[in-house]
Amino acid sequence: MKRYNKLIGLCSALLVLTTSCDLEETIYSSIYTEAFYKTAADAEKGLVAVYDPLGDMGAGPALTIVSDFSADQCYPRAVVGRNTLTLFAYDANYTTQRTAGRTNESPQQIWASSYDGIEKANWIIEKVPAAIMDETRKKQIIGEAYFMRAFYHWTLTKNFGDVPVKTKPSTSEAEAMIGKSLKADVYKQIYSDLDMALAAGLLSYPAIEKGRPSKEVVNALYAKAALYNEDWQKALQKAQEVISSGKYSLMPDVRDVYRYDKEDAARVENMWAFEVAPVSPGRGHQLTGLCGPPGNAGVDYARTSFGSMFAYQTFFDSFDPADKRRQLLDTTYVNRSGAVVPQRSITPITTQGVLIKKYQDPNTIVGQIPNIPIFRLPDMYLIAAEAEARLNGATAVAYGFVNAIRKRAGLPDLKAGLSKDAFIDAVLQERSWEFFAEGDRWYDLTRTGKFVTEVPKAVNNVYPTRTPTAKNKYFPIPLDEINANPKLEQNPDWK
């Protein structure tokens, strides 16, 4: 450092006498890869970077609340732009979220994080094959990168429809500017990447490291992507492969899946999640604080809670009282004085507030740490049930898949003799009860076209009118991206 400073001083002095002074140095503040990805350590560090944008989405967490605040299960307190999702009042610039400093809760964060992750995955796929390291681990690292690239592309297309497919890293601004691909071509790339991941020798649970995808998780994403792509045979096949692998199982009590003190035990069902570290500094998220009562009042909910996210009364009422999943919601709570707070006093914004109990953590003081599920085993059962019905009607096989989930919830078997359409509707309703507040419901409504009819039914005295239109099936591509990339066009309904 001292020698470098002397050279700078010498160069400055010589500038008085000469017209130039050249210094040679390695630039680290721009894209620089020639000296990286050479060793096992480089490859491992590069792979960690591929996962980092998932943390950016999970912190807001745009990963879930973009979907949840748009759908018919959960609603926000109308602060910092969250209500624009509920009221479908956002614009292509996401102006309200930006003004409130809450881009991290908006679809813009999903776009930015996903392409950040894709770019980092592309560098792994491009460079790590030449690294000098153990060949088995090298193959796994590249396989994880393929999986993450598929996940990010899937996240983009379910939110924005037709999107750019990027499979090469950029060394210049020009290379970064590409146009959109049709949704069908996005799914072709997702399938291709998942095939590569499946061939990479990824480990199975429980040998897999926390937060990394197992071979079965690759198939889980395959099943979910195929479901969204209306590729029913592929969705059924991949979901059955996960179930029949025997590597994962349903926890006997659904409430234990979300207990802060059973996180590791729950991995037998919670296959892949946004992993939160109980350290500071570390990756956290807001859901624990959003879902608890205001003013840190609920001793069982969190040390710090804001009272900013609740469930609709109509959603709570949709449960059979015998359904154990309804116990993950509550219309009362015990305050720090030991008194039971009635529903009318849960929140000052409505007398019908319903509390969400999936992200409770009464102890943590360094952050809000419960993991956010991304793929759980029940998803595979319900994907298999829907795909089987779409292919063959309400068969005994389809009933078997959905009834496994109902039995765990403490419910009787689904009514026999349903028509194909009635059975599929019942499966979608089962998905709603099973995955509420996990960022899933909006995509079920949009992929089936039901959002225009179902969302207006989810109202209360906070949001008495909600009127999504056809253009809300997909979010607008952020205006910043349109302005930066001349090859990128806005979604047709948002032009």
Of 170-179, 253-262, 460-469, the poorest mean pLDDT is in 170-179
For residue 24, is pLDDT > 90? no
Q: How far apart are CA 83 and CA 466, in angstroms?
A: 11
Assess whether 347 and 217 both reside in one domain: no
User: Higher confidence at residue 286 or residue 418?
Assistant: 418
pLDDT at 415: 97
Please check whether residue 398 lies inside any domain of the structure. no
Please check whether residue 246 lies inside any domain of the structure. yes
The mean pLDDT value for 24-37 works out to 58
Q: What's phi and psi for 411, nearest 5 deg?
A: -110, 155
The mean pLDDT value for 216-241 works out to 98
Domain span including residue 41: 37-274+469-494
Please check whether residue 406 lies inside any domain of the structure. no
pLDDT digits (tens, 9 = 90+) for 185-218: 999 999 999 999 999 999 999 999 999 999 999 9
pLDDT at 277: 74
Assess whether 45 and 89 both reside in one domain: yes
With cut-offs at 50, 70 and 90, classify the pLDDT of residue 28.
very low
The mean pLDDT value for 257-272 works out to 95
Please check whether residue 413 lies inside any domain of the structure. no
Among residues 366, 382, 411, the one where a domain terminates is: 366
With cut-offs at 50, 70 and 90, classify the pLDDT of residue 18.
very low
Assess whether 359 and 474 both reside in one domain: no
The mean pLDDT value for 321-347 works out to 97
Please check whether residue 415 lies inside any domain of the structure. no
Assess whether 72 and 171 both reside in one domain: yes
Q: How far apart are CA 479 and CA 484, in angstroms?
A: 9
Assess whether 349 and 490 both reside in one domain: no
Tell me the Cα Rg of the chain: 24
Please check whether residue 32 lies inside any domain of the structure. no
For residue 13, is pLDDT > 50? no
For residue 396, is pLDDT > 70? yes
Which residue from 152, 263, 230 is spatially nearest to 197, judged by alpha carbons?
152
Among residues 336, 366, 396, the one where a domain terminates is: 366
Q: What is the CATH number of the domain that holds 96?
A: 1.25.40.390
With cut-offs at 50, 70 and 90, classify the pLDDT of residue 172.
confident
CA angle, residues 292, 298, 304, in degrees to nearest 5: 60
pLDDT at 11: 33
For residue 120, is pLDDT > 80? yes
Q: How far apart are CA 107 and CA 475, in angstroms?
A: 7
With cut-offs at 50, 70 and 90, classify the pLDDT of residue 281.
low
Please check whether residue 459 lies inside any domain of the structure. no
Average pLDDT, the chain: 92
Q: How far apart are CA 256 and CA 168, in angstroms?
A: 42
The mean pLDDT value for 162-171 works out to 96
pLDDT digits (tens, 9 = 90+) for 69-116: 999 999 999 988 899 999 999 999 999 999 999 999 999 999 999 999
The mean pLDDT value for 348-356 works out to 96
For residue 280, is pLDDT > 90? no
- As for how many domains the chain has, the answer is 2
Please check whether residue 318 lies inside any domain of the structure. yes
pLDDT digits (tens, 9 = 90+) for 398-420: 999 999 999 999 999 999 999 99
For residue 138, is pLDDT > 50? yes
Assess whether 216 and 322 both reside in one domain: no
For residue 23, is pLDDT > 60? no
Assess whether 216 and 148 both reside in one domain: yes
Assess whether 149 and 78 both reside in one domain: yes
Assess whether 164 and 265 both reside in one domain: yes
Among residues 332, 366, 400, the one where a domain terminates is: 366
For residue 269, is pLDDT > 50? yes
Assess whether 113 and 222 both reside in one domain: yes
Assess whether 270 and 191 both reside in one domain: yes
Assess whether 264 and 293 both reside in one domain: no
